[in-house]
Amino acid sequence: MNGSNWIGRIIFGGFILFVLLPLLPGVFRVFKLAGGRALLPDNPRANAAPFPILLHIVASVVYGVLCLFQFSTRFRKKHLNLHRLFGPIAAIAGLAAAASGLWMTHFYSFPTNLQGAPLYWFRLLIGTAMFGFVIIAIRAIIGRDVMTHRAYLIRAFAIGTGASTQAFFGIFWIIATGEEALGTFRDAVMIGAWLFNLAVAECIIRRGQKPGRKTSHRSRSVVA
């Protein structure tokens, strides 16, 4: 195996860890709500109304894990049937994650240091966008428009992995200052993480659309 293969594997391994980062606390939360030991600080909103957060976490785990397979060119090439099977499951999970996120944003009673007005409105916007992007991607693939399908799934995934970037920024902030980010600053960090991911997504989409790039040809031949 040559050096660039190793680098590619390390980058991909890092990416998997990045996607799985926010899923682990989610699994801990499910464990706690199922009557297990508390491995995380208490979430009174989850205790008061566990169903939406349970649905959100299960849907996010399914969505995050399946997307890792769906975006892998090697996996699509080798297991096209599985790609086609996982696609609708990932789409339903993505829709459920976005819809339950929207529900909690509106109906959970947050203290303002955890969700101020900017984060409330932005979550409504970004959750709706994620839901809409998955629908557009489904419609595109039904119409065999692979490039639109790819672009909107990348955008939806960027919103989904906003949870990873937020966790990453949050952990970094705690290590740097010894305190959790709260209030308006927390709102700004959460919103900034989503905007950052969307900017990266746009770069990836544009790279894939450049004429003659291998990725666009591969995705055409494999998915269509």
Interaction site with ligand HEM (CB under 6 A): 22-23, 25-26, 29, 43, 45-46, 53, 56-57, 60, 63-64, 97-98, 101-102, 104-105, 108, 114, 123, 126-127, 130, 159-160, 163
Least distance (Å) from ligand HEM to the CB of residue 110?
7
CA distances, 218 to each of 78, 91, 105, 222, 224 (Å): 12, 21, 39, 6, 10
- 114 or 147: CB nearest ligand HEM: 114
Smallest distance from ligand HEM to CB 214, Å: 28
Query: Least distance from C-beta 104 to ligand HEM, angstroms?
Result: 4
Distant-in-sequence contacts of 111-119, Cβ < 8 A, 24+ apart: 112/183, 113/182, 113/183, 113/186, 114/182, 114/186, 115/187, 116/183, 116/184, 116/186, 116/187, 118/184, 118/187, 118/188, 118/191, 119/186, 119/187, 119/190, 119/191
**Nearest distance from C-beta of residue 40 to ligand HEM, angstroms:** 6
Torsion of CA 67, 70, 74, 75, to 10 degrees: 100
Neighbours of 126 (CB within 10 A): 24
Cβ proximity to ligand HEM: between 65 and 223 the closer is 65
CB nearer to ligand HEM: pick between 67 and 140: 67
Closest to ligand HEM by CB, 133 or 219: 133
Minimum Å gap between C-beta 164 and ligand HEM is 7
Taking the complex as a whole, how short is the minimal distance between the CB of residue 184 and ligand HEM, in angstroms?
A: 17
Comparing CB distances to ligand HEM, the nearer of 108 and 218 is: 108
Alpha carbon dihedral 164, 97, 54, 168, in 10-degree steps, equals 10
20 vs 147 by CB, closer to ligand HEM: 20
